[in-house]
Structure 1
């Protein structure tokens, strides 16, 4: 997982969408595998790796959010309108419904 998260960070730095997709698929597969494993009886090495993975994931999440804000700001500047991708009142919303 640590290696996949490091690859994700590199893909974010390079803005490589293909590598990001590979990382996302890899993370999902590893999460599925880890979910099936029993979390009891982890040794110190495993606990350390889990802490490292959690920290890397948090850093990557922050980088993704910063990139998203940067892209939104650039799109707003290019189009001359703020909130290009914001939902307008009364507009249809497609996708999953959140309760």
Structure 2
């Protein structure tokens, strides 16, 4: 399979943008800046739409490195979001004295579990 150089360059640029958005999201999470968190979510969604059209032939070594960086950043951000959510749930439980009100249904909790 031959690679169209413009496809590879476009994919690299999109992946660079994704890494930048993920870094911005991490900073927004650290600052608990809801507007910036929402902006990052919109940015990630738009970039995912662009990446959906990417062809495997356009993935070169630089793209693989950017993909790896984006995966790692996304995983860290996911873990931070989960910690924040757990903290909020704990505080809500303490206020109402009834943790059952805020528990996910068993099927949802299982689907979200990590092995």
Task: Structure 2: state its 5+ residue gaps.
Answer: 1-17, 106-115
TM-score scaled by structure 2? 0.71
Runs of 4+ in 1 over 6 A off after TM superposition: none
Instruction: Determine the C-alpha separation between the residues in 2 that align with 1:38 and 1:69.
Output: 38
Q: CA deviation at 1:40?
A: 1.7
TM-score scaled by structure 1? 0.82
Normalized per residue, the structure richer in helix is: 2
Instruction: Please give the residue correspondences for 1:1-99 in structure 2 after superposition, counting only pairs within 5 Å.
Output: 1-86=18-103
Aligned-pair RMSD on alpha carbons?
A: 1.5
Aligned length in residues: 88
Task: Structure 1: state its 5+ residue gaps.
Answer: 89-99
